[in-house]
Structure 1
Amino acid sequence: MKFDLHTHHFRCGHADGNIRDYIEAGIQSGLQAIGISDHSPFLGSEQDQAFPKIYMAKSQLAEYVEEVQQLKKEYEGRIDVLLGLETDYFPDFAELYRSTLAPYPFDYLIGSIHNVEGDSIFNRNRWNKLSDARKIEVKQAYYALIQESARSGMFQILGHIDAMKGNFPAFSDIPADEAIDETLQVIAESNVAIEINTSGKTKLSGGWYPSASILERAHHFGVEVTFGSDAHKPSRVGDDWEEVKAMLKDIGFREWVYFKEKRKIPVAL
């Protein structure tokens, strides 16, 4: 079974196309299931859309859910359309996110860290003039947030767990093996899956999130995995799916998972 659980569309303000475009691309790519998982609204502000080029507006959430549900019915029998959402994990607003999203019939939620210490993980200038010791502290802070998101119980999937390397490839060389291993153990204990996210190829780092070395350690600790292209344009739906599948089998994984009605469904590799 071929699936892709991580796609975006125009509501977030930095993706092309509408939801139907991604579903049609999924059919063309041979998917049996496609997850629609645009960026949730930012709830930590009274504004309807505090960051219009990053998150959808609060007022768009209900219409987003309704549109996906309608398309789910329309495409039944052709492709399984899954209702997802990519949600940032902000400790100060975690309970607000939990209560706001609870009434909606999501098949799954992706928890992602995009901000550390008040700055975007993709801001490569943040590393300028930082000492080696400070770089280690920032990397440890990133993984501490990922651990906290795993323990929160809010998410079925954790998104792109080494994406801080995206625009700063040297991030991977900052020594923090202990923090990464501890994070993978927490993820396994929390029964949350991690995605292999192929959008890393569009960043300066190239390749996928997470790296093969992290996936080898994830396998050692018993972490479950899923697939997400993180497509921001329809042409990337299902991107590198076969290559990721082959890599996982080489590492030793025997299955990956997807989610429906927040139930984990294993699929043999």
Structure 2
Amino acid sequence: MKRDGHIHTPFCPHGSKDALNDYVETAIRQGFREMTFTEHAPLPEGFIDTTPTKDSAMELSVMEEYFHTIQQLQKEYKQDVTLHLGLEVDYIEGFEKETTQFLNEYGPYLDDSILSVHFLNHKQNWYCLDYSADVFEEMIAMFGSVSAVYQAYFHTVYQSILADLGAYKPKRIGHMTLVHKFQQKFPCTKDFSAEINEILQKMKLNHYELDYNGAGVVKPLCGETYPPAEIAAKATALGIPLVYGSDAHSAKGIGQGSEQIQL
């Protein structure tokens, strides 16, 4: 069954305002029969969004409306496509307790979910690594090198797998090579194969799925899936389930990168 397991919605503050029906009908036209809406979960209590636009995630105040809207959509399209209610949850080191409290409250209502790393800490300053090339360049200056940013990112992804976030912790790791987003402008010369293999081994041990994310294909400074094909092949060889995700933030983003993905 053709599935897209990573889709955003009009509830995303940095996405489009395309109607949810447009997302679903675009997916149906492309042959998808299973979809998960994974809107950015509210950031943990006490964490301040450091992006210039402060629009990384939903506000907690709209969570009930989001749930209700997706549940209504499930009923509307139940004859055409299987829709799952989900969230993309940020793993932010040091905020495990707050994230667990959030998941304990809202996790029982979820059909599916993703755990992703977007924010990295350096000397008590937080940076959203995929916000823009300018912010990534600032991170390079602060962390000391491109490879230092990569090291911090893969360390944090590894920590996200180890973290105890309670019974409703997501079991799919989102775009595990998101740090590659600006690689054509800021290439990394250090090989991180050992760190990536360690992440995959830990995922296998903990029975995690991997988000095989097509969004990087359409990012002009990336040009590849998250993760790239060779890492996806290693995951498959280890028996880690791969779930295609368009990471669409608009209706036209449905299916993006899927032509480069073999499942």
TM-score range, shorter chain: 0.7 to 0.9
Tell me the TM-score normalized by structure 2.
0.84
Matches within 5 A, 1:1-269: 1-16=1-16, 17-45=18-46, 52-104=54-106, 105-117=109-121, 118-122=126-130, 123-125=135-137, 126-128=139-141, 134-152=145-163, 154-169=169-184, 170-171=186-187, 173-203=189-219, 204-245=221-262, 248=263
Alpha-carbon displacement from aligned partner over 1:46-99 (angstroms, at most 9, x marks no partner): 889x96521111101111011111111121111111011111101222222222
Deviates more, 1:216-225 or 1:54-63: 216-225
Instruction: State the Cα distance separating 1:197 from its structure 2 match.
Output: 0.5
Instruction: State the Cα distance separating 1:136 from its structure 2 match.
Output: 3.4
**Amino-acid identity (%):** 28
Please provide the CA RMSD for this pair. 2.4
Deviates more, 1:174-183 or 1:79-88: 174-183
Structure 1's 129 and 147: CA in aligned 2 closer, same or farther, altered over 3 A? closer
Instruction: Give the distance between the partners of 2:58 and 2:19, measured in 1 at CA.
Output: 13
The answer to whether the 8 A contact 1:36-1:81 is kept is yes
SS in 1 for 2:11: helix
Alpha-carbon displacement from aligned partner over 1:104-162 (angstroms, at most 9, x marks no partner): 3111111111112221212331224865xx54343222112111212336112111100
Which letter maps to 1:120?
Answer: C
Instruction: Give the distance between the partners of 2:48 and 2:194, measured in 1 at CA.
Output: 40
Deviates more, 1:81-90 or 1:137-146: 137-146
The answer to whether the 8 A contact 1:6-1:231 is kept is yes
Instruction: Give the distance between the partners of 1:172 and 1:221, measured in 2 at CA.
Output: 26
SS in 2 for 1:109: strand
Count of equivalent residues:
243
Any gaps of 5 or more consecutive residues in structure 2?
A: none
Instruction: Give the distance between the partners of 2:54 and 2:38, measured in 1 at CA.
Output: 17
Tell me the TM-score normalized by structure 1.
0.82
Instruction: Give the distance between the partners of 1:128 and 1:93, measured in 2 at CA.
Output: 25
Instruction: Give the distance between the partners of 2:189 and 2:79, measured in 1 at CA.
Output: 47
The answer to whether the 8 A contact 2:143-2:149 is kept is no
Instruction: Give the distance between the partners of 2:77 and 2:90, measured in 1 at CA.
Output: 29
